[in-house]
Amino acid sequence: MLYQTIDILGTVAFAISGVLVAMEKRLDLFGVLIIAFVTSIGGGTLRDLLIGNTPVAWMRDLTYVTTIFITVVFAIIFVNQLKYLRKSLFLFDTIGIGLYTMLGVEKGLEAELLPIMCIFLGTMTACFGGVIRDILCNEIPVIFRKEIYATACILGGASYFLFMMLSLKESYAYIAAILVVITLRLMAVRFGISLPNIYKYRD
């Protein structure tokens, strides 16, 4: 029940993120829907294909598609209110990567993958929906810039296994790891922490 709830919350967060980007680009209704859809299920689809979990989750359960449709309608109706939230796109995107990182880790564990592979799978689940969204909207994906994004997912995924080694209850370790991802991302932006820019070292 916990995992399904987190999955739905992640879907909602990324769908809103997709709607906000699409509306900034002044896409039509169909375009807004497609961007919200790929943002929500892009990373999870790639994850399921890699581990052989086919048909992929959203094709087997209409809950995801229904959730995305409802979220898109909600976000369009209340877009002006959402814009009043300071950096709302950043907020929903950050929540989304936190939730989806651990969903990917959980899928990796179910597939009996090594912990390091579970972390990579979680990072992919969290990041690649946003990558597809940004590419379709003619933006350089955040993951390819110097911002702390995928790094937060990797550290958050690793923290889950650390918490489990410390004998923390599984559900608590799961939620704590999500909070690690979200906190790292928020702190990185708040204090201007970023990865080194390789271009400043060039002659």
Residues of the domain holding 38: 2-197
Asked if residue 175 is part of any domain, the answer here is: yes
pLDDT of 201: 52
Q: Cβ–Cβ contacts within 10 Å for residue 42, how many?
A: 22
Asked if residue 158 is part of any domain, the answer here is: yes
CA 151 to CA 188: how far, in whole Å? 10
To the nearest whole number, what is the mean pLDDT of the chain?
88
Q: What is the DSSP letter of 138?
A: T
Torsion sign across C-alpha atoms 39, 40, 42, 46: positive
Burial (CB count <10 Å: 0-12, 13-18, 19+), residue 79 = middle
Residues 110-131 pLDDT 10s: 999 999 999 999 999 999 998 9
pLDDT of 86: 47
Asked if residue 202 is part of any domain, the answer here is: no
Asked if residue 203 is part of any domain, the answer here is: no
Q: What is the largest CA-CA distance in the chain?
A: 55
Asked if residue 39 is part of any domain, the answer here is: yes
Is 203 in a helix, a strand, or coil? coil
Among 16-20, 25-29, 77-81, 133-137, where is mean pLDDT lowest?
Answer: 77-81
Asked if residue 137 is part of any domain, the answer here is: yes
Residues 133-187 pLDDT 10s: 999 999 888 777 766 889 999 999 999 999 999 999 998 999 999 999 999 999 9
Closest CA to 153 of 185, 129, 176: 185
CA 145 to CA 152: how far, in whole Å? 14
Look at the chain and report how many structural domains it folds into.
1
